[in-house]
Chains A and B, each alone.
Chain A
Amino acid sequence: MALSGLGIYKLLPKTNCKKCGFPTCLAFAMQLAAKKVSLDKCPDVSQETKKALESASQPPIKLITVGSGDEKLEIGNETVLFRHEEKFYHPTGIGFIIEDTSSEEDIKKALGEINKLDFERVGQRINVNIVGISCESKDASKFQVVVKTVLENTKLALALVSDDASFIAKALEASKERVPLLCGATSANYKEMAKLAKDNKVPLVASAPTLEELETLVKNLNTEGVEDIVLDTGKKSIADKLWDLTQIRRLALKKAFRPFGYPVIAFTQNADKFQEAAEASTYVSKYAGIVMLKNRDPWVVLPILTMRQNIYTDPQKPLQVEAKVYEIGKVEDKSPVIVTTNFSLTYYTVEAEVESSKVPTYIVSCDSEGMSVLTAWAAEKFTAESIAKALESFGIKDKVAHKDLIIPGYVSVLSGKLEEASGWKVTVGPREASGIPVFLRNLTK
């Protein structure tokens, strides 16, 4: 957490020697706080002060990168406890564990299924992020072979799961370029694991059953020179896990407690598909950086990914699409023209219904500053004038040979004014997008 000018002043020599070029230590401290000057300008600063200022300039929760290339996973660097205070920045990575005792055929099949957990919702790609390979065989060579198979069959980030450093070492030989997450260090093996993480420059999970033991373990790892850490508090009931996740986040943000200034990984405990999905979504909404699942049915994973998408949407900036004319299907000059707002959720809902109607249609997405139909109407961002202006500036009249416009049912009250302002004949469409297919089909009958 950044220190205030006064906070920094307390750490300075307070001699007002002016060697830094500023009249007083306090003035220098203010400049430091504003990041306008470097601490090097003070020749008398102590080592402790240097350390304190360095750590204060770090983000309260470190950004950790797992993997490399396009599919790398970045987690951490969060700044708030509640999304309405600002936003959540780095969406929870969702992953799965594959055991190295499975047959090659099964592993390839599993990876094929995992790779397909890649969807598009409201114009955004939502997909899973990480595959963990767990060494159940207790055979380093076998583990390495399986890791290679996984590397070849998915671009997703990797995690190497074993508490035996010798197995991890062997797997790393084959996979270190892909920057896997080592999973992980415990109080029993942390020295060996720390060395592997440091030598190979890969992030390491620190795993301990209680918050107190976790604090000790992280400090030990820091002493060993490991800075890229992901926290784990082990097997817990959901309520206890929720408590741990909340404490870790609060202590990191509110107390700048360095040992917990890292993202957290959670492994679901439920094997039942419904309960696992509920458990996973709980951790997604409450601060987990990575959630590892057991089940991979698309109907289980899709709602978890959707939950993540919702929670990690910027509350100050609703998702918007470009305001313009969209052509759905093989449009021609007699195709209907539908008008809606540029709020992503609204636009894509309308688009999906138009598509399913199979009636080629123009959708005019008006700039409503990303508000939905009713909200935009109430805020006067979706008015007769603004719609008329959009029709004019997008040149829709040159694309069609008619002047019939369909508006959302919720703003039927705009009809008269819009006809006057635009010269188009207005038809009131359905209130809900789900009514669009029937509406369009009846229209073209």
Chain B
Amino acid sequence: MDLMKECWTGKINTVTLGATEKEGGTRTSQITVGGETALPFLFKEGDIPHAPVIAMEVLDAEPTDWPEVLKKPFGDALKDPVKWAVKCVEEYKARLICVKLIGTHPDFGNKSAADAAKLVKDILQAVKVPLIILGSGDDEKDNTVLAKASEAAKGEKCLIGDATEKNYKTLAASCLADGHNIIGESPIDINIAKQVNILISEMGFPLDRIVVNPTIGALGYGLEYAYSIMERARNAALLGDKMLSMPFICFVGQEAWRAKEAKATSSEHPEWGDESERGPLWEAQTAVAVLQTGGDILVMRHPKAVEEVRKYIDSLMKKG
């Protein structure tokens, strides 16, 4: 019997987050993702030089719709994003922090670009791991907020997003000027994903500083769409499509915690079992699916889910 090993010609780009003193930044660690020349965890037919990483999510405004199970591990830190970030790094061993500037959204607090920039500076001061910085999703506001945030983090080699097909120029220009990586977002669509990468790269953006957000759904809530889009994109990349050869970032926590099965208490649904375990597991299982289709950076919320997915990644990376 001859085994069937795929000989891929393509390779996923290697993207590095965080600049240490040597690179002109103030981070004390870096994160490198990508570089795969095989499908996820098939070590016998290619290189998987960098393990997928988990970023813990920090919001600039106290979350209003989080269930108790999710709030509990953070306690009062939810009111103070700097404390929250410190807690993630010190207590929950996060190697990467994702700051989401949701409070700058006109409908959710409308914080100013200056507030956002200050927060980014404060977090950079308080934690020394690399940062991911996200806007609020309001295009107009993001264009001012992210420009300021990018400037505030100049030289730190953050990952900033999201650039979309209709709104990428301002962000790409900022990231270029300030030396950051960029996230290109597409709505579960492989062609748009490619288009966004082309548009960004046409502005002179190096391909190895782009990460793709394929916009996933939670387990049970459309997960399979992103699962297959990611699988298709990863296959195309390994076959040599340079415009799809970017690492994936997946917003696992934000999606998983919208699921009823993650949020509902056991008094509402006794047949589903204890929510203090069920919620984190729902998040962890969403992570498992995206890891199996090539997720490189997972943005997650619950410390228990983070810990368990980290263990899962470690056990896979032992290569048997």
Contacts and interface: CB of A to CB of B under 8 A. Distances in A.
Interface of A: 82-84, 116, 119, 121-122, 211-212, 215, 236-240, 242-243, 246-247, 250-251, 254-255, 257, 259, 273-275, 277-279, 281-282, 285-286, 297-300, 302-304, 306-307, 309-311, 313, 315, 345, 349, 352, 356, 372, 432, 434
A310 B227 contact: yes
B80 interface: no
Nearest to B309: A278
B260 interface: yes
A116 B271 contact: yes
Nearest to B282: A303
A300 B219 CA distance: 13
B241 to A, nearest CB: 15
Interface of B: 1, 3-4, 39, 41-44, 65, 219-225, 227-228, 231-232, 235, 258, 260-261, 268, 271-275, 277-278, 280-282, 284-285, 288-289, 292, 304, 308-309, 311-312, 315-320
A83 B289 contact: no
B281 A300 contact: yes
Central interface residue in A238, A299, A309, by most chain B CB within 10 Å? A299
A299 B289 contact: no
Contact of B308 (A274, A297, A310): A274
9 contacts: A84-B228, A239-B41, A273-B281, A274-B284, A278-B284, A297-B277, A302-B273, A303-B219, A372-B222
B42 A254 contact: no
B315 A281 contact: no
A353 to B, nearest CB: 9
B3 A275 contact: no
Given A251-B3, A285-B288, A315-B228, 14 more contacts: A84-B228, A84-B232, A116-B271, A239-B43, A247-B3, A275-B312, A278-B284, A282-B288, A286-B292, A297-B277, A302-B261, A303-B282, A306-B219, A313-B224
A307 B285 contact: yes
A257 B285 CA distance: 33
A242 B39 CA distance: 11
Contact of A239 (B4, B219, B289, B316): B316
Contacts of B1: 211-212, 215, 251, 257, 259
Contact of B320 (A121, A243, A282, A432): A243
A419 to B, nearest CB: 25
A254 B320 contact: no
Contacts of B289: 281, 285, 307, 310
B315 to A, nearest CB: 6
Contacts of B225: 315
A246 B45 CA distance: 12
B4 A254 contact: yes
A-side interface mostly: helix
Counting from the closest, the 3 A-B pairs by CB-CB distance are A299-B273, A240-B320, A299-B278
A240 to B, nearest CB: 4
Contacts of A279: 312
Given A82-B228, A215-B1, A277 B281 contact: yes
Contacts of A300: 273, 281
Contacts of A345: 221-222
Contacts of B311: 274-275
Name the residue among B44, B65, B223, B227 with the largest chain A CB count within 10 angstroms: B227
B235 A303 contact: no
A247 B4 CA distance: 6
Given A298-B271, A303-B282, A311-B224, A250 B261 contact: no
A237 B320 contact: yes
Contacts of B232: 82, 84
A84 B188 CA distance: 13
Residue among B258, B277, B281 having the largest count of chain A Cβ atoms under 10 Å: B281
A346 to B, nearest CB: 10
A392 to B, nearest CB: 31
B220 A299 contact: no
B305 to A, nearest CB: 8
Contacts of B271: 116, 119, 298
A257 B2 CA distance: 10
B219 A307 contact: yes
A299 B260 CA distance: 13
Given A237-B315, A299-B274, A302-B272, A310 B309 contact: no
A121 B65 CA distance: 23
A237 B316 CA distance: 8
Given A274-B281, A277-B285, A310 B4 contact: no
A257 B228 CA distance: 26
A297 B273 contact: yes
B288 A309 contact: no
A211 B39 CA distance: 20
A315 B258 contact: no
A299 B277 contact: yes
A251 B4 contact: yes
Given A121-B220, A286-B292, A307-B219, A239 B284 contact: no
